């Protein structure tokens, strides 16, 4: 980790143009990490472009009030850059329609991530699975360069850590995570305003959809597994975008007997997104990897092709492996 941090620091010091991106359907960690890094580099006098495959979810748009994040347009390719930062992801397919452009990019590629990674994904892999969020690692980079932590940099980093730790509730929250949050608060940001923007601005339609999702709640394995499903018709009838479903799966995990929860979301084009959460010794990352997904031990995701009914049956049939004999 320290070696990769030093390599990253040297690359930043010795180059002038940078491209920054994150995964498709970016979350608070992806958006927050890339905006903070971009603003830090700009403060150093560097040329920076932030380009993503898919739009920023509405709940995180307040972090990008100046419209720094651009949406990738395939015919135009990518802006010139000597260095490419890939944040909060270390799998090519999660870069969406930018994946091939990034793989073929002639610049130095640096991955900053806190998810498990197999092999060498980029030229420099600044990976730490113990970090609560990729934003923690961006903050370490800034600190290693004795950078100035302005409110404009601290705000998205705080949002990054806040969201990826479930407002400091998840097991990935450590003493180091709280120390990072303390440093960010010392920069003069308003934590209550950030929380309000992210968690307390949901639409009435989202609440109605949540009621429908909870009505589909089922249990397996003596109540240790809970699962719900959201169909395309449910989304259309309530006028809700997929991005607004974030957090539904955590509600099921909060049930007393539940050790793992699954949320199946039907997407257009015969695709299904599955969000997985767990607690204790239940490893949903290992389970997700069986189906081409991944994430963390207690939070993971899968995107798979097929009909909703078939995918539900397939995963539930194999779900007992989540609970090995004690």
- What are the tens digits of pLDDT across the range 135-146? 999 999 999 999
User: For residues 233 and 210, is the Cβ–Cβ distance under 8 A?
Assistant: no
177: Cα within 13 Å, side-chain hemisphere: 24
User: For residues 215 and 234, is the Cβ–Cβ distance under 8 A?
Assistant: no
Q: What is the pLDDT at residue 150?
A: 97
Residue 117 predicted with pLDDT over 80: no
16/6 Cα distance (integer angstroms): 17
Hey, which bits of 30-96 come out as E strands?
A: 47-52, 69-71, 83-87
Residue 326 predicted with pLDDT over 60: no
Sorted by where each starts, the structural domains of the chain and their CATH numbers stand as 2-199 (3.90.1640.10), 204-322 (3.10.310.30)
Q: What is the pLDDT at residue 74?
A: 76
Q: What is the pLDDT at residue 246?
A: 87
Distances (CA, A) of 190 to 84, 87, 187, 196, 213: 31, 25, 9, 10, 33
Q: What is the pLDDT at residue 175?
A: 96
Q: What is the pLDDT at residue 85?
A: 98
Average pLDDT, the chain: 93
Band the pLDDT of 102: cuts 50, 70, 90: very high
- What are the tens digits of pLDDT across the range 211-247? 999 999 999 999 999 999 999 999 999 998 888 898 8
- Phi, psi at residue 89, to the nearest 5°? -160, 145
- What are the tens digits of pLDDT across the range 158-194? 999 999 998 998 888 999 999 999 999 999 999 999 9
290-304 residues labelled b (16+ CB within 10 A) or e (exposed): ebebbbbbbbbbbbb
Q: What is the pLDDT at residue 295?
A: 85
- What sign does the CA torsion over 123, 127, 133, 137 have? negative
Q: What is the pLDDT at residue 324?
A: 80
Mean pLDDT of the region 272-294: 93
Residue 62 predicted with pLDDT over 90: yes
Contacts of residue 248, Cβ cutoff 8 Å, sequence gap at least 6: 210, 213, 228, 230, 263, 275
Hey, which bits of 23-157 come out as E strands?
A: 47-52, 69-71, 83-87, 108-113, 124-127
Band the pLDDT of 2: cuts 50, 70, 90: confident
- What are the tens digits of pLDDT across the range 6-61? 999 999 999 999 999 999 989 999 999 999 999 999 999 999 999 999 999 999 99
């Amino acid at each position: 980790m320290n070696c990769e941090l030093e390599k990253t620091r040297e690359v930043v010091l010795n180059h002038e143009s940078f491209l920054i991106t994150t995964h498709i359907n970016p979350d608070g960690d992806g958006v927050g990490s890339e905006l903070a890094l971009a603003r830090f580099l700009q403060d150093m006098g560097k040329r920076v472009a932030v380009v993503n495959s898919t739009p920023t979810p509405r709940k995180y748009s307040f972090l990008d009030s100046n419209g720094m994040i651009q949406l990738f347009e395939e015919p135009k390719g990518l802006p010139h850059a000597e260095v490419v930062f890939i944040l909060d992801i270390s799998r090519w397919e999660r870069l969406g329609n930018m994946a091939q452009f990034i793989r073929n990019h002639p610049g130095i590629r640096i991955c900053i991530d806190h998810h498990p990674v197999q092999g060498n994904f980029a030229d420099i892999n600044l990976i730490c699975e113990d970090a609560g969020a990729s934003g923690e690692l961006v903050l370490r980079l800034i600190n290693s360069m004795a950078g100035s932590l302005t409110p404009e940099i601290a705000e998205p980093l705080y949002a990054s850590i806040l969201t990826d730790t479930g407002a400091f509730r998840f097991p990935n929250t450590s003493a180091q995570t709280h120390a990072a949050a303390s440093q960010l608060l010392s920069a003069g940001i308003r934590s209550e305003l950030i929380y309000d923007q992210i968690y307390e601005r949901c639409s009435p339609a989202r609440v109605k959809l949540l009621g429908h999702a909870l009505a589909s709640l089922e249990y397996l394995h003596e109540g240790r597994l809970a699962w719900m499903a959201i169909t395309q018709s449910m989304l259309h009838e309530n006028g809700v975008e997929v991005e607004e479903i974030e957090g539904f799966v955590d509600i099921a995990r909060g049930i007393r007997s539940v050790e793992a929860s699954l949320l199946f979301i039907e997407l257009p084009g015969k695709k299904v997104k599955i969000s997985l959460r767990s607690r204790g010794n239940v490893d949903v990352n290992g389970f997700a990897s069986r189906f081409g997904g991944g994430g963390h031990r207690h939070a993971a995701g899968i995107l798979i092709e097929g009909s909703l009914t078939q995918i539900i049956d397939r995963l539930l049939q194999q779900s007992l492996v989540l609970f090995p004999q004690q």
